[in-house]
Structure formats: C-alpha cells, structure tokens
Structure 1
C-alpha cells in the first residue's frame, strides 16, 4: 500500500470517527499512531508518542491557554461579563433593536476576556435572552444574535483559536492577536448593521427598551471600567511590547482575581468553580495539541501535502483562486466538524501550499479563524446554535438556525472584505 493511499484512508477514517462523535483527541491519537506505525514502524510511533507528549507539556508558551481561560471563567463567575452587557444596554437599549445590539457588544466584550465562542454564547445567552424575551423580542432575533455574537470569541483577542493556529504553524501569538483586532471590530460592526436592517424591515422583531437616565448610564459604565481596564492592559501590553502574550495572560488572570476578591464577588466556592472549569478545558486543549503532533508527522510521511500542492499547481488558479478554494473547503467542513479539529486536520496539508504561494501566514490565520467562526453557526452542526438551544429550550431549533442566517451572510461579507483588503489584518501587526 502506497504512502499516499495510507494517508488518504487514514484521513477518511479520522473524518468518519469525528462524524461519529468520537472525541477529537482520541480519534487523532488512534489514526496518527496507527498511521505512523504502518508507514515507519512501531518504534517510531511509540517514540513520537512519548517525545511529543513531553515536548508539548513542557512548552512554556502554552501557559497562555490556561491563564486566559481562567481569566474568562473568573470574569464569568464574578459577574464582570454581566457588567459589560449592562453598560452596552444602558447606552443603546432604548432604541429599536437596542437590546440585540447591546447583546452583540456584550458578546464582543466578553469574548475579549474569555477567548471562547462557546463560553460567550452560553454566558450571554443566560444573561440576555431573558431580557429580550421580557421586552417581546422575536425569538429568532434574540437567539440568532446570541449564537452569532458568541462567535466573536474566537476572533477578538485573546483568542484560543489564534493560540492553536500559532502553535500548529509556528507563528507569533502576539502578532496574531493584533491581527484579529480590526477584523473583530469590523465583524462586530457588521452584526450591529444586520440588527439595524432587520429591525428597520420588521420593526416588531426588536421593540424599543426602556430609557435610562444619565446617572444610570454613568453607573453602568463605572461598573464596566475594571473589566475594560483589564482588556486595555493585557492587549495594550502585548502591542506596546511591555508584555509577551504569556506574561499578558498572567497579568490578566491576576487582575480579574484581585478585582473579584476586592469586590467580594470571588469567594472560595466561586474560585473553585472557575479553576475547575479552567482545568477541564485546558486538559481538553492539551490532549488535542498532543494528538495533533501525531497527526502532523503521519500526514508528512504520507506525502499528501506534496500531492495536494501538485494538484493545486496543476489547476493553475493563481494566488486568490487557490486561497478562495481553500476557504471554500473550510466552509464546507465547518458544517460538520468542530473548529479545532478542522485546524489540526487541514493545516498540515494547506500550510505548505500557502507558503509556496507566498501568502502571509498571519493574514491566512485571520481568514481561517473567521471561516471557523462561520462553521460555529452553520447547519447541521453549528455548535453555538445548540449551546443557545440549551438555554432557550422553548425555541425550535429551526427558528434559531433561521435567526442566525442573516448574521452568517454578514460574516461572509466580512470575509470577502478581509480577502480583498489584507492590510485590515496586517496593519496592526506591522506596527508592533
């Protein structure tokens, strides 16, 4: 059996296991280990399993993952994320569709803390859905805006998606964080415009909320100042060169813990809950990363990257044609696979092609992460849709999918803009 055939069968088996809902890490462990065994012998497979596990576990850069996750979890259990929503609501809640727009802004702010789309959708769903239901918002709009707004968590830094991409492709985490800022703001703006257009066409979807006084607005913003300061210090520290991403993660986690303790909102029980959740999430991410370092050598040994590169060169699509084909493949895979699984499965194949074409890996990272976001709300899987469904049990799943589709098209327009104007992604990293 040729290496190419072994590689093709292995990736097809991996895809099948993922579609059968086998945990991502275990599916990759099995396929990667057995593939290397077939292509290079049992000794090479066991050697890689032990060496890569130790190498990943001792990589100091990976401390950024648990620290940023802890920062987001502490912000959630202490109610800091709710204060972000309150500040946005106090500003624009009284206009038509204002509660939905406030939810988008709240999701963006929480995303900057947690770096997790699922956490953003779950937390903001618990906070915002009841409020929008109380003011007779359309369930399609309210659930759609929470599911879509949660996707900002993987693009606005600090982003777990960027960290995984950086590790898999050996790129700078700090530069990727900076590259996500302007695209994240652009996507948030696109979501706000989508809400405004929907409410202009169908006014009953987003009735006006109650007005707030100047003093109420001031109190809401005062409550959000500590969290906004944490975001400014961590991201500003990375941009200015004062912190490395790892140091910024430590500073951010320490600041939210201190703020929570001083405010009296972070007792031992709440801290235990945040720490336990962070450990579980970190363990899952680490397992996936270790498994990825078994899949990558297997794919390299199978010569599949070279074959894919040869096919794409034969097609002669040019730089933008090849890039659009790759993104189209991500869009299709996003309908069925979880984002991290897609990164691990595809990057070993596509990165050599991207490098040969001279595509900037930072720009490509932003495009890929945005495409992964679209998968979070794409049918039939759309994990964020199912997260929102777990909170809004009385809303039919089909209505939630219908609610997210306008936002999916807004993401598609944003993706087209970022492909056409690379400097939106590259300007800030270039200024560092």
Structure 2
C-alpha cells in the first residue's frame, strides 16, 4: 500500500473514531501513532511520541493558556461579567433590542477576559436570558444572541483559538492577538446592527427596557471600570510593547485575583473552583496539541498536504478562489466537528498550500478562526447552541437554531469584508512590529 493510500485510510479512520464519539485527542493519538508505525517503523513512532510530548509540554509559550483561562474563570466567580452587562444595559437597555445588544457587548467584554466561546455563552446566558425573558423578548432573539455573542470568545483576544493556531503554524501569538482586535469589534458591530434591523422589522422581538437615570448610568459604568481596565491593560500592554503575551496573561490573571480578594468576592472555595476548571480546560487543550504534533508527522510522511496542494493548484482558481474553497471546507466541517479538532486536522494540510500561494499567515489565521466561530452555531453540532439549551431548557432546540440564523449571516458578511480588506486584520500587528 502506498504512503498516500495509508494517509487516506488514516484520515478516514480518524473521522470514523470521531463519529463514534472517541475524544479528539485520543483519536489523533491512535491514528498518528499507528500511521507512523506503519510507514516508518515502531522505533520512529515511539521516539516521536516521547519527544513531541516533552517538547510541547515544556514550551514556555503555552503558559498563556492556563493564565488566560484562570483569568476568565476568576472574573466569572467575582461577578465582573455581570458588572459589564449592567453597564451596557444602563447605556442602551431603553431602546428596542437594547437588552440583546447589551448581551452582545457583554459577551465581547467577557471574551476579552476568558478567551473561551463556551465560557462566554454560558456565563452571559446565565446573566442575561432571565432579564430578556422578563421584558418579553422573543426566545429566538434572546437565545440566538447569547449563542452568537458567545462566539466572540474565539476571535476577540485573548483567544485560545489564536494560541493553538500560533503553536501549530509557528506564528507570533502577539501578532495574532492584535490581528483579532478590529475583526472582533467589526463582528460585534455587525451583531448589534443585526439586532437593530430585526427589532425594526419585528418590534415585538425586542421591546424597549426601562430608562435609566444619569446617576444609574454613572454607577453602572463605575462598576464596569475594573474589567475594562484589565482588558485595556493586557491588550494595550501587548500593543505598546510593555508585555509579551505570556506576561500580559500573568498580569491580567493577577489583577483579576487581586480585585476579587480586595472586594471580598473571591473566597477560597470560589478560587479553588476556578483553579479546577482552569486545570481541566488546560489539560484538554494540551492533550489536543500533543496529539496534533503526533498526527502532523504522519500526514507529512503520507504526502497528503502535497497531494491536496497539487489538486488545488490543478483547479487553477487563483489565490482568492483557492482561499474561498479552503474556507468553504472549514464551514462544512464546522457543521460536524469541534473547532479545535478542525484546526489540528486541517492546518497541516491547508497551511502549506496558502504559504505557497503567498497568503499572509496572520490574515489567514483570522479568517480561519472566524470560520471556526461559524461552526459554533452551525447545525447539527453547534456547541454554543447546546450550551444555551442547557441554560434555557424550556426553549426548543430548533427555535434556538432559527434564532442564530441572522447572526450566522452577519458572520458571513464580516468574513467577506475581511477577505476583501486584509488590512482590517493586519494594521495593528504591522504597526506594532514595524
């Protein structure tokens, strides 16, 4: 059997394992190890298993993952997410759809602390769904906006998706973080415009909330000042060159913990719970990364990336045409696979192709992460939809999926804009490093 045939059988076996719900990391471990054993012998497979595991686990850049995850978990336990939502609600809650727009803004702010879409959707769902239901919001809008707003966690820095992309492609984490700022704000704005249009067409979808006084607005903004300060300090520090991404993660986590202690909102039990959640999430990400570094050599040995590159080149679609095909593949896979699984499975195949075409790897990273976001609300998997379903068990799943459709369309428009205007993604990283 040729190396290419072994590679195709390996990919087919990997998808089969994923379909029967074998955890992503273990499925990749199994396929990668057996594939290398078949193509290069037992000693090569065992050597790679030992060396890649140690090399990746001892990488200092990966410290950023547990620190940012801890920062987000502590922020959730100290009520900082609620304060951000209250501030947005006080400013725009009195207009039609204002509560939904406040939820999107709250999701964007919490995403800038947690870097996790699931955490953003879960936290903001608990905070905002009851309020929107109390004021008579249509459940399609209320649940759809939480599911879609949660996706901002994978694009607005700090983003775990960008960290994994950087590790797999050997790109700068700092450049990727900065590249995600304007696209994240653009997508947040697109979501708010979508809410405004929906409530203009169907006013009953998002009734206006009660007006707030100037004193109440000031009080709410003052309550959100700590979380906004942490966000500006960490991201602004990276941009200004004061911190590396790892140092920014440490500063951010330390400030959030200090805030919780000083305000007496973070006791030992809450801190222990935040640490346990951070450890579990970090271990999951690390297992996936280690498994990815085992399956990547197998794909290289089987020449699958070369075959795919030659096939795309034979289509003669040009740079934008090839890029469109790759993004379409990501959208289709997003209907069935979890985002991190897609990254580790596809980047070894597609990244050499886009490098051959001369595509900027930072720009490509932003486009890929945005398409991963779309998968988070795409049926039938749509993990954020199921997260919202767990918070709102009385809302039918189909109704939530219908609620996210306008926001999925907004993401498509945003993706098209970012493809047409690469500088939206590149202006900050190019400014920082030039």
- Relative to the length of structure 1, the TM-score reads 1.00
State the alpha-carbon separation in 2 of the partners of residues 250 and 109 from structure 1.
18
How many pairs align? 432
Deviation sequence 1:79-106 (CA, Å, 0-9, x none)? 0011010000000001110000000000
**Correspondence 1:354-369 to 2 at 5 A:** 354-369=354-369
How far does the alpha carbon of each residue in 1:287-334 deviate from its partner, in whole angstroms, 9 at most, with x for none? 000000001000000001111111111110000000000000000000
- Measured against aligned partners, the alpha-carbon deviations of 1:49-81 in whole angstroms (never above 9, x if no partner) come to 111111111100000000000000000011001
- Whether the aligned pair in 2 keeps the contact of 1:198 and 1:205 (CA below 8 Å) is yes
Deviation at 1:20, TM superposition (A): 1.9
Partner residue of 2:251? 251
Q: What is the CA–CA distance in structure 1 between the aligned matches of 2:139 and 2:185, rounded to whole Å?
A: 26
Q: Once the two structures are superposed, what CA deviation does each residue of 1:131-184 show, in whole Å capped at 9, x if it has no partner?
A: 000001000000000000000000000000000000000000000000000000
Structure 1 gap segments, 5+ residues each: none
Q: Please give the residue correspondences for 1:115-126 in structure 2 after superposition, counting only pairs within 5 Å.
A: 115-126=115-126
CA contact (8 A) 1:19 1:337 kept: no
- C-alpha contact (below 8 Å) 1:72/1:113 kept by paired residues: yes
CA–CA distance in 2 between the matches of 1:302 and 1:379?
32
Report the equivalent of 1:88.
88
- Partner in structure 2 of residue 303 of structure 1: 303
Q: CA deviation at 1:126?
A: 0.5
Distance 2:383 2:83 in 1: 26
Distance 2:416 2:15 in 1: 28
Q: What does residue 153 of structure 2 align with?
A: 153
Q: Does 1:192 align with 2:222?
A: no
The match for 2:24 is: 24
Give the Cα separation in 1 of the matches to 2:417 and 2:77: 37
Report the equivalent of 2:322: 322
Query: Which digits, 9 at most, give the CA deviation of each residue in 1:199-254, with x for residues without a partner?
Result: 00000000010111111111100011011000011001100111000000000000
Q: State the 4+ residue runs in structure 1 displaced beyond 4 angstroms.
A: none
Q: Residue 412 of structure 2 aligns with which residue? A: 412
What runs of 5+ residues in structure 2 fail to find an aligned partner? none
Asked if the contact 1:150–1:384 (Cα under 8 Å) also holds between the matched residues in 2, the reply is: yes
Partner residue, 2:387: 387
Whether 1:34 and 2:27 are equivalent positions in the alignment is: no
Question: Distance between the aligned counterparts of 2:104 and 2:58, measured in 1?
Answer: 38
- 1:19 Cα deviation after fit: 2.1
Q: Distance in 2 between matches of 1:11 and 1:235?
A: 38
Hey, what does 1:209 align to over in structure 2?
Answer: 209
Task: Give the whole-Å Cα distance in 1 for the aligned partners of 2:83 and 2:17.
Answer: 41
Instruction: Tell me if the contact between 1:147 and 1:377 (Cα under 8 Å) persists in the aligned partners.
Output: yes
TM score, norm. by length of structure 2: 0.99
- Corresponding residue for 2:163? 163
The equivalent residue for 1:53 is 53
SS in 2 for 1:408: helix
- Secondary structure of 2:251's partner? helix
1:262 aligns with 2:267: no
Hey, what does 1:15 align to over in structure 2?
15
Q: Does 1:76 align with 2:76?
A: yes
